[in-house]
């Protein structure tokens, strides 16, 4: 059994591939062996989560997910715990393995009840598996609401009930209690929906068990790329060794966004940072960061630079985008640059042409900006974040960073997208996106390939938030920029 962390490197498989792998695994083993192994794995994790529990509520559904719950209940009872099973389904219509595990639970002396126990120390959600697409209704919805409203820990079997294993969207609107501990144990494959959209909140800590089966070959839908390698700098270096970043943005009243991006690039170790402001009345120097060379954005020669364009650009950035798209050696497009491109078909065509030419380009939309670029709604983007990121990457020929819980990094090639497991709600504050753009720009300027530059920056950006000291001052964008690793 393996705990999945932000440093994990792993492939993620969608429902269709998981079904094929499950069938191959079952065919190689005696009947009922997979379910017995799954139930034992659930029981072992339950004992680790709540070692002193007396009563454990096991909510079982009408399919094989419920069968895993029956088997876990039997294993727990054999080990001196007191599981109480509530079962929603028709015993006569249970799959054969689930029916066998139901009988094993009865033979073990497990208590069955029509309602949840009034007192319990752990709840096990074995109601719905990966194949369910309909929202829970009636009694099932009531049980889920009761589970999630409690401060007691919840352990989900394979995926949290109501979660789409491919996309991470929930089919119900039940929010978990903020004080509750969430865990999920998933079998045979890791599913992308556990790590993006609403999946991270619903699943909590994710554990993986391959049930003693070897690796099965299939096409992954996505991957967890793990922590980036630490870069080493040669002693015989100078500022020209680490590239130049030009930040273009900072329209009147919005200079802070451009300065934050510049600060992030500076602290990421780039050789020189120019901040091309779109406000003609801006001060000639940033006293707090004199290393940033402030310029009029219109005067910068971008042919040998990595441009980070759009941070605080407002509508003024649209005027410079044709030159930026055609001349920047490498490019990060963020915020208002993306909005300007979404509103102008000529700029879109120019971005496509840049992508076809192979010039390193990264776009960093949040869901609303992605929706504008795709001509759809935010809901459609969030309903399948992997597909949305991939569509943008392929259409424009760029690397796409679709920000949000479980940020997705996709390129136009055949490799599956990567999902980053770093980051938390500390990043939900103004300016952190500008910092990320600057960090990506620095990695590009130091000659990282576009996909690796984007993944590295996304991972490090989230890691800073994850390791921010508890009880310390709030994580502001300025503090985040200053912590960027060089």
DSSP structure string for 61-74: -SSHHHHHHHHHHH
- As a whole number of angstroms, the distance between CA 61 and CA 337 comes to 49
pLDDT at 440 over 80: yes
- Segment 242-299, tens digit of pLDDT: 799 999 999 999 999 999 999 999 999 999 999 999 988 777 887 788 899 999 999 9
End-to-end Cα distance, the chain: 35
- Segment 213-237, tens digit of pLDDT: 987 789 999 999 899 887 777 666 7
Q: What radius of gyration do the chain's Cα atoms show?
A: 25
Residue 60 pairs in a beta bridge with 87, 126
Helices (H), 397-449: 432-445
DSSP for residue 134: S
The crossing angle, in degrees rounded to 10, of helices 96-107 and 64-78 is 20
- As a whole number of angstroms, the distance between CA 7 and CA 466 comes to 12
- As a whole number of angstroms, the distance between CA 160 and CA 154 comes to 10
3-state secondary structure of 388: helix
- Segment 98-154, tens digit of pLDDT: 999 999 999 999 999 999 999 999 999 999 999 777 888 999 999 999 998 888 999
Reported as a pLDDT band with limits 50, 70 and 90, residue 241 is: low
Predicted local confidence at residue 329, as pLDDT: 97
Residue range 352-361: mean pLDDT, rounded = 97
- Segment 164-215, tens digit of pLDDT: 999 999 988 777 766 679 999 999 999 999 999 999 999 999 999 999 998 7
Residue range 15-37: mean pLDDT, rounded = 94
- As a whole number of angstroms, the distance between CA 43 and CA 77 comes to 9
pLDDT exceeding 70 applies to what percent of the chain? 98
Neighbours of 229 (CB within 10 A): 8
Q: The CATH number of 241-482 is which of 1.10.10.10, 2.60.40.420, 3.40.1190.20, 3.90.79.10?
A: 3.40.1190.20
Neighbours of 355 (CB within 10 A): 18
The crossing angle, in degrees rounded to 10, of helices 450-466 and 432-445 is 140
Residue 3 pairs in a beta bridge with 207
Count CA atoms within 13 Å of residue 242 on its CB side.
21
Is 305 within 8 Å of 445 (Cβ atoms)?
yes
Provide CB contacts within 8 A for 236, sequence distance 6+: none
Helix (H) or strand (E) holding 408: strand 408-410
**Domain ranges across the chain:** 2-221, 241-482
pLDDT, greater one: 290 or 96 = 96
- As a whole number of angstroms, the distance between CA 316 and CA 119 comes to 61
Find out if CATH 3.40.50.2000 is the number for domain 2-221.
no
């Amino acid at each position: 059994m393996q705990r999945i962390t932000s440093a994990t490197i792993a492939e993620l498989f969608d429902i269709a591939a998981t079904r094929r792998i499950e069938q191959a695994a079952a065919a190689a083993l005696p009947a009922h062996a997979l379910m017995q192994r799954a139930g034992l794995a659930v029981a072992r994790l339950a004992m680790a989560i709540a070692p002193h529990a007396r009563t454990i509520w096991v909510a079982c559904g009408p399919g094989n997910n419920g069968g895993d719950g029956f088997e876990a209940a039997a294993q727990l009872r054999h080990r001196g715990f007191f599981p109480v099973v509530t079962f929603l389904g028709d015993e006569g219509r249970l799959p054969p393995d689930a029916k066998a595990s139901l009988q094993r639970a009865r033979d073990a002396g497990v208590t069955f009840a029509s309602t949840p126990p009034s007192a319990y120390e752990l709840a096990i959600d074995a109601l719905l598996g990966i194949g369910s697409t309909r929202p829970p209704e009636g009694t099932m919805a009531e049980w889920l609401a009761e589970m999630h409203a409690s401060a007691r820990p919840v352990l989900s079997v394979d995926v949290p009930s109501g979660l789409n294993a491919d996309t991470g969207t929930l089919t119900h609107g039940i929010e978990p209690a903020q004080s509750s501990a969430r865990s999920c144990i998933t079998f045979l494959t890791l599913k992308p929906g556990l790590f993006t959209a609403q999946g991270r909140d619903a699943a909590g800590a994710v554990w993986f068990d391959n049930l003693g089966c070897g690796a099965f070959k299939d096409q992954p839908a996505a991957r967890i790329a793990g922590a980036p390698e630490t870069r080493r700098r040669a002693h015989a270096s100078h500022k020209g060794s680490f590239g130049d970043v030009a930040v273009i943005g900072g329209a009147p009243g919005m200079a802070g966004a451009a300065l934050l991006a510049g600060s992030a690039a500076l602290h990421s170790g780039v050789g020189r940072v120019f901040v091309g402001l779109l406000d003609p009345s801006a001060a000639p120097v940033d006293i707090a960061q004199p290393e940033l060379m402030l310029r009029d954005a219109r005067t910068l020669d971008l042919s040998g630079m990595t441009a980070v364009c759009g941070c605080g650009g407002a509508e003024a950035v649209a005027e410079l985008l044709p030159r930026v798209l055609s001349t920047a050696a490498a490019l990060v497009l963020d915020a208002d640059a993306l909005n300007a491109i979404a509103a102008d078909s000529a700029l879109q065509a120019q971005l496509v042409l840049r992508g076809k030419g192979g010039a390193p380009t990264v776009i960093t939309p949040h869901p609303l900006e992605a929706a504008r670029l795709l001509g759809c709604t935010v809901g459609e983007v969030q309903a399948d974040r992997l597909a949305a990121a991939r569509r943008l990457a392929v259409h424009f020929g760029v690397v796409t960073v679709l920000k949000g819980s479980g940020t997705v990094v996709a390129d136009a090639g055949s490799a599956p997208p990567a999902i980053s497991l770093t980051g938390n709600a500390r990043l939900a504050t103004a300016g952190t996106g500008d910092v990320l753009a600057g960090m990506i720009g620095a990695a590009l300027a130091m000659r990282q390939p576009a996909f690796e530059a984007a993944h590295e920056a996304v991972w490090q950006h989230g890691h800073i938030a994850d390791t921010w000291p508890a009880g310390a001052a709030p994580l502001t964008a300025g503090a985040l920029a200053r912590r960027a690793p060089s």
